[in-house]
A and B are shown apart, each in its own frame.
Chain A
Amino acid sequence: MAQQPPTMAVSLEVNGEPQALMLDTRTTLLDALRDHIGLMGTKKGCDHGQCGACTVLVNGIRINSCLSLAVMHEGDAVTTIEGLGTPQELHPMQAAFVKHDGFQCGYCTPGQICSAVAVLDEIKAGIPSHVQGDIGGAPDMTVLEMRERMSGNLCRCGAYSNIAEAMAEVAGVRIAETHDAEVRV
């Protein structure tokens, strides 16, 4: 028998619950959530940072959990799709996705919703983007901004137009204004 792989203890908080794990150091945060904690809501689409299906919030900031080793998250607070809301008590973004049919197969959806929640916060916090007119000014809460910032979350079912409607509703943006914005290319 060859040498056992190194393991390491890690303690983190997931959806408000403390988790103490002993993990193979190669385990990603994504696999720790899915295979060790049993939270299967976060999806694996590529395992290479190419699709966004694995998006979770770490200390309030969205990351691709497949690109991060679990043992790097000692003491972090992780929020997954399960932590945002439940079928009985939906988060407003989850409710807006249902209302606007912002998904089809549903596989990219947890990642889209985690990203969508974070994107609205990023715009509010003034974090700049590529489509901003004035990079020194504050970004506008427009669908153009949202589309740009959501572009790391692939949806092969092609629900983008509906996701934009869902996000606009949660952001309180009138959709007519947002259409003008996108015609402005």
Chain B
Amino acid sequence: MKFETPAGTNPIDAMKVIGQAVDRVDGKLKTTGQAPYAYEHSEIPAKPAFGYVIGAGIAKGRIASFNAEEARRMPGVLAIVSAKNAQPLGKGSMNTAKLLGGPNVDHYHQALAVVVAESFEQARSAANAVRITYDRAQGRFDLVAQKPGAQPLTGNDADTHTGDFEGAFASAPVQVDQTYTTPDQNHAMMEPFATIAWWEGDALSVWTSNQMIAWNKRELAKTFQMPPDKVHVRSPFIGGGFGGKLFLRADAVMAALGAKACGRPVKIAMPRPLMLNNATHRPATIQRIRLGSTRDGKLTAIGHESWSGDLPGGGPETATQQTRLLYAAANRLTALRLAELDLPEANAMRAPGEAPGLMALEIAIDEMAEKLAMDPVKFRVLNDTQVDPEHPQRPFSQRNLVRCLEDGAARFGWSRRSARPAQMREGRWLIGMGVAAGFRNNINMTSAARVRLAGDGTVTVETDMTDIGTGSYTIIAQTAAEMMGLPLEKVRVKLGDSSFPVSAGSGGQWGANSSTSGVYAACAKLRDLAAQSLGMDPASVQFADGEVRAGNRSAPLADAAKSGELVAEETMQWGDLGRKFQQSTFGAHFVEVAVDFYTGETRVRRMLAVCAAGRILNPKTARSQVIGAMTMGVGGALMEELAVDKRFGFFVNHDLAGYEVPVHADIPHQDVVFLDEEDDKVSPMKAKGVGELGLCGVGAAVANAVYNATGVRVRDYPITLDKYLADLPEPV
């Protein structure tokens, strides 16, 4: 099925099951410890051995000597595999650094070997007995130092120019020209990278923890230089990913190497302290933003430049993305510059581009509003655009940013905010409110599913879609139930298996809309088969209450499969509506903070997000996506930072004690409002994503609230108290 024209009325519009805030269909499994994650599967052909990965102790250079003699003789040790004795490996097309290093080392904690033993304790102990010496080479670890040599990019990441930015900025009566920095950040998902791998002849099977099953299968095949149809990947439950599990990682490669070497299944969970330098992270950025405005608050010039770094062959953090679309202004400039760094691999983390981009842009907008003596909500409303500012003939499919801002302001009590900072006090606390716009594009991905109607009237959905906590199981079940006119209990959903049709997978907040659209397409086909089987005209049937109805005839849906299961498989593909219309999601984030006069401690007291993201398929799971993202936004604003050791080239705080993420005590009650929308130009589901939107803008809303509380503007994230304590106003 190809989606080429705006959706008319369709069976989803009944919204008997879709749009309802039902509990997660996998909720009981997850809350009772019965949902098996990668490391926990018992469906394997033999007793597994345990692998322990050894990471490089230098950031750049070569292995001088590798001595595993002592380790090999230790009790229980079955195999030690390194680049010296491993088969030649290909490199996955989506990996920048090789997943097995040696003799060259490309980054700190790059995997160099795996020790396989009968028990976890034996493997760990033997891994500690492997002696490696290195010839260390000079590396580049400091983005500030490498910034002058950073290079422009081509294609999607090339510079953009609209009108005459330099001229318009120079002549603007009111200007903001500031530089902001965001640090390296880590996904810090709670489930470590983990895999159980085994070989049967030349076929490889893995239970793993991965967001994109088809990518994983393809990359494993490429790495082991084998046909993809010999690789079986399963990942039915995933303990969080946030972009960190988009790609094939070392756990799967090392488990497969270990399994080959010892002829048994091998299970590996990456030790937490190894994960942060071994795998990918969101890279730090330096962002310069220039805004020019008329005195009455119309932006005339918007310029946004961003510098980031990555290993040779890597990519930039696309922090200027949202700036091309968020506000009107005739004269515009964006530019990305990429430096080479020898730190671990930079790559996607939740809302790549927009998350750090909005952290900077939405402070700059706050600064401009203040210079203009305008309310920051009104200033944003005044500069709204209903068309792509670079291509004014191209409208947004739907854009309700203004309503998000105005509704949010009313609900949040924004009118109580003092325009002058550092004016609101409660005892020892300075109180401040902040706002920021949220923006993230909608992306549609090809997505397929198979649906089966059994003789007992139940429907089973099979697709390689993943549920990383997003609620995929639930919204897919809701979609199939709505399409087939069944109650939710009559639908079973099977996910995360490479033997199922290839779905959109989980990334870029495309999962919900794309994967349910694939299920919609498959169900549309199944409806036709069911109607034909019952001798009814597919064009005029209705599916409701477990029955199929046409005119005054009706039959139980189960009867359609009386003489055998009906199976339909279909793929949702996309036409060019995404080119004709800019498809995006919008939000407004409101935050209230209290900052302690004496200690500088910042507490977040209230949070509200108002989101416009098309039809909300399940308000309960969608709301959870948003509150989770808001929580991550608080982390980004106030605490999260991978500290770079610029001499030795690694992230120092590489565990969950050192890399601080928000805890219960940091997060207040959170409010989320979804505007009642349907976007008929994005898909038959009329839905868009929310999982990344919820993060976009939160950091800046917190930053703006801290400024409003204290009068101290911090442009260097995270906003830790050492950056403003000395400048806090005197206690009265």
- Which residues of the other chain, A, contact B628 by a CB distance below 8 angstroms? 104, 157-159
Q: A40-B40, A151-B665, A155-B190 are in contact. Are A103 and B656 (CB under 8 A)?
A: no
Q: Is the CB of B594 within 8 A of A106?
A: no
Question: Is B468 on the interface with A (CB-CB < 8 A)?
Answer: yes
Question: Is A128 on the interface with B (CB-CB < 8 A)?
Answer: no
Taken residue by residue from 16 to 55, chain A's Cβ proximity to chain B (1 for < 8 Å, 0 otherwise) reads as: 0000000010110001001100111111111110110100
Question: Is B74 on the interface with A (CB-CB < 8 A)?
Answer: yes
Complex Cα spacing A152 to B26, Å: 25
Question: Is A125 on the interface with B (CB-CB < 8 A)?
Answer: no
User: Given A40, A48, A182, A183, which contacts B36 in the complex, CB threshold below 8 Å?
Assistant: A40
Q: A105-B191, A107-B240 are in contact. Are A46 and B656 (CB under 8 A)?
A: yes
- Which residues of the other chain, A, contact B468 by a CB distance below 8 angstroms? 105
Q: Shortest Cβ distance from A140 into chain B, in angstroms? A: 16
Closest to B239 in A: A107
- Which residues of the other chain, B, contact A48 by a CB distance below 8 angstroms? 272-273, 655-657
Complex Cα spacing A185 to B604, Å: 9
- Which residues of the other chain, B, contact A155 by a CB distance below 8 angstroms? 190
Q: Is the CB of A105 within 8 A of B27?
A: no
Q: Shortest Cβ distance from A171 into chain B, in angstroms? A: 15
- Which residues of the other chain, B, contact A98 by a CB distance below 8 angstroms? 23-24, 27-28, 31
Residue picked from A104, A131, A175, A182, most chain B C-beta under 10 Å: A104
Q: Is the CB of B656 within 8 A of A183?
A: no
- Which residues of the other chain, B, contact A80 by a CB distance below 8 angstroms? 33
Question: Is B554 on the interface with A (CB-CB < 8 A)?
Answer: no
Complex Cα spacing A109 to B26, Å: 13
Q: Shortest Cβ distance from A147 into chain B, in angstroms? A: 4
Q: Is the CB of A97 within 8 A of B31?
A: yes
Q: Shortest Cβ distance from A120 into chain B, in angstroms? A: 14
Complex Cα spacing A147 to B40, Å: 30
| A to B contact number (C-beta, < 8 Å) | 225
Question: Is B73 on the interface with A (CB-CB < 8 A)?
Answer: yes
Complex Cα spacing A120 to B623, Å: 26
Complex Cα spacing A101 to B37, Å: 19
Complex Cα spacing A177 to B273, Å: 40
User: Given A2, A106, A157, which contacts B237 in the complex, CB threshold below 8 Å?
Assistant: A106
Complex Cα spacing A107 to B629, Å: 17
Taken residue by residue from 39 to 58, chain B's Cβ proximity to chain A (1 for < 8 Å, 0 otherwise) reads as: 11010000000000000000
User: Given B23, B125, B605, B665, which contacts A99 in the complex, CB threshold below 8 Å?
Assistant: B23
Q: A27-B121, A105-B468, A108-B190 are in contact. Are A160 and B631 (CB under 8 A)?
A: yes
Question: Is A71 on the interface with B (CB-CB < 8 A)?
Answer: no
Closest to A178 in B: B669
Q: Is the CB of A185 within 8 A of B429?
A: yes
Q: A98-B27, A106-B35, A109-B31 are in contact. Are A161 and B667 (CB under 8 A)?
A: yes
Taken residue by residue from 132 to 165, chain B's Cβ proximity to chain A (1 for < 8 Å, 0 otherwise) reads as: 0000000000000000000000000000000000
Q: Is the CB of A105 within 8 A of B240?
A: yes
- Which residues of the other chain, A, contact B620 by a CB distance below 8 angstroms? 101
Q: Is the CB of A185 within 8 A of B24?
A: no
- Which residues of the other chain, B, contact A182 by a CB distance below 8 angstroms? 605, 668-669
Taken residue by residue from 79 to 96, chain B's Cβ proximity to chain A (1 for < 8 Å, 0 otherwise) reads as: 000000000000000000
Q: Is the CB of B669 within 8 A of A103?
A: no
User: Given B605, B655, B664, which contacts A183 in the complex, CB threshold below 8 Å?
Assistant: B605
Q: Is the CB of A87 within 8 A of B664?
A: no
Question: Is A65 on the interface with B (CB-CB < 8 A)?
Answer: no
- Which residues of the other chain, A, contact B24 by a CB distance below 8 angstroms? 98, 101
Question: Is B726 on the interface with A (CB-CB < 8 A)?
Answer: no
Q: Is the CB of A158 within 8 A of B632?
A: yes
- Which residues of the other chain, A, contact B39 by a CB distance below 8 angstroms? 40, 44
Complex Cα spacing A88 to B272, Å: 34
Q: Shortest Cβ distance from B640 into chain A, in angstroms? A: 11
Question: Is A156 on the interface with B (CB-CB < 8 A)?
Answer: yes
- Which residues of the other chain, B, contact A27 by a CB distance below 8 angstroms? 119, 121
Q: A43-B190, A147-B665 are in contact. Are A183 and B606 (CB under 8 A)?
A: yes
- Which residues of the other chain, A, contact B665 by a CB distance below 8 angstroms? 131, 147-148, 150-151
Taking chain B's interface residues, is the majority helix, strand, or loop, or is none over half, making it mixed?
loop
Question: Is B271 on the interface with A (CB-CB < 8 A)?
Answer: yes
Q: Is the CB of B594 within 8 A of A185?
A: yes
Q: Shortest Cβ distance from A51 into chain B, in angstroms? A: 5
- Which residues of the other chain, A, contact B188 by a CB distance below 8 angstroms? 156
Complex Cα spacing A4 to B74, Å: 8
Question: Is B170 on the interface with A (CB-CB < 8 A)?
Answer: no
Question: Is B287 on the interface with A (CB-CB < 8 A)?
Answer: no
- Which residues of the other chain, A, contact B539 by a CB distance below 8 angstroms? none
Q: Is the CB of A158 within 8 A of B662?
A: yes
Question: Is B670 on the interface with A (CB-CB < 8 A)?
Answer: yes
Q: Shortest Cβ distance from B428 into chain A, in angstroms? A: 9
Closest to B627 in A: A161
Q: Is the CB of A82 within 8 A of B32?
A: yes
Q: Is the CB of B272 within 8 A of A157?
A: no
Taken residue by residue from 670 to 696, chain B's Cβ proximity to chain A (1 for < 8 Å, 0 otherwise) reads as: 100000000000000000000000000
Taken residue by residue from 626 to 648, chain B's Cβ proximity to chain A (1 for < 8 Å, 0 otherwise) reads as: 01111110000000000000000
Residue picked from A99, A113, A153, A183, most chain B C-beta under 10 Å: A183
Question: Is A162 on the interface with B (CB-CB < 8 A)?
Answer: yes
Q: Shortest Cβ distance from B22 into chain A, in angstroms? A: 10
- Which residues of the other chain, B, contact A161 by a CB distance below 8 angstroms? 627, 631, 667-670
User: Given A43, A90, A108, A178, which contacts B32 in the complex, CB threshold below 8 Å?
Assistant: A90
- Which residues of the other chain, A, contact B667 by a CB distance below 8 angstroms? 147, 158, 160-161
- Which residues of the other chain, B, contact A84 by a CB distance below 8 angstroms? 32
Question: Is A174 on the interface with B (CB-CB < 8 A)?
Answer: no
Q: A108-B190, A158-B667 are in contact. Are A103 and B30 (CB under 8 A)?
A: yes
- Which residues of the other chain, A, contact B429 by a CB distance below 8 angstroms? 185
User: Given A50, A81, A147, A150, which contacts B657 in the complex, CB threshold below 8 Å?
Assistant: A50
Question: Is A85 on the interface with B (CB-CB < 8 A)?
Answer: yes
| CB contact list, A100-129 vs B, under 8 A | 101, 103-110, 113
Closest to B632 in A: A158
Complex Cα spacing A26 to B121, Å: 7
| CB contact list, B108-140 vs A, under 8 A | 119-122, 125
Complex Cα spacing A105 to B662, Å: 17
Closest to A165 in B: B669
Taken residue by residue from 493 to 516, chain B's Cβ proximity to chain A (1 for < 8 Å, 0 otherwise) reads as: 000000000000000000000000
| CB contact list, B603-626 vs A, under 8 A | 603, 605-606, 620-621, 623-625
Q: A106-B239, A156-B240, A185-B594 are in contact. Are A162 and B31 (CB under 8 A)?
A: no
Q: Is the CB of B190 within 8 A of A156?
A: yes
Q: Shortest Cβ distance from A114 into chain B, in angstroms? A: 10
- Which residues of the other chain, A, contact B663 by a CB distance below 8 angstroms? 150-154, 160
- Which residues of the other chain, A, contact B74 by a CB distance below 8 angstroms? 2
User: Given A50, A148, A175, A185, which contacts B272 in the complex, CB threshold below 8 Å?
Assistant: A50
Q: A160-B662, A160-B667 are in contact. Are A51 and B656 (CB under 8 A)?
A: yes
Q: Shortest Cβ distance from A48 into chain B, in angstroms? A: 6
Question: Is B470 on the interface with A (CB-CB < 8 A)?
Answer: yes
Q: Shortest Cβ distance from B493 into chain A, in angstroms? A: 15
Q: Shortest Cβ distance from B628 into chain A, in angstroms? A: 3
Complex Cα spacing A42 to B35, Å: 11
User: Given A26, A40, A150, A185, which contacts B33 in the complex, CB threshold below 8 Å?
Assistant: A40
Residue picked from A104, A105, A131, A160, most chain B C-beta under 10 Å: A105
Q: A106-B237, A158-B667, A161-B669 are in contact. Are A43 and B627 (CB under 8 A)?
A: no
Q: Is the CB of A158 within 8 A of B629?
A: yes
Question: Is B9 on the interface with A (CB-CB < 8 A)?
Answer: no
- Which residues of the other chain, A, contact B662 by a CB distance below 8 angstroms? 158, 160
Taken residue by residue from 2 to 45, chain B's Cβ proximity to chain A (1 for < 8 Å, 0 otherwise) reads as: 00000000000000000000011011111111111101101000
Given A94-B28, A160-B662; 8 other pairs, CB 8 A cutoff: A1-B73, A2-B75, A48-B657, A51-B190, A106-B469, A151-B664, A151-B666, A156-B188
9 cross-chain CB contacts under 8 A: A5-B75, A5-B122, A24-B121, A26-B125, A47-B272, A104-B621, A151-B666, A156-B188, A157-B628
Q: Which 7 A-B pairs have the closest CB atoms?
A: A41-B33, A158-B631, A107-B239, A105-B469, A104-B469, A106-B30, A158-B628
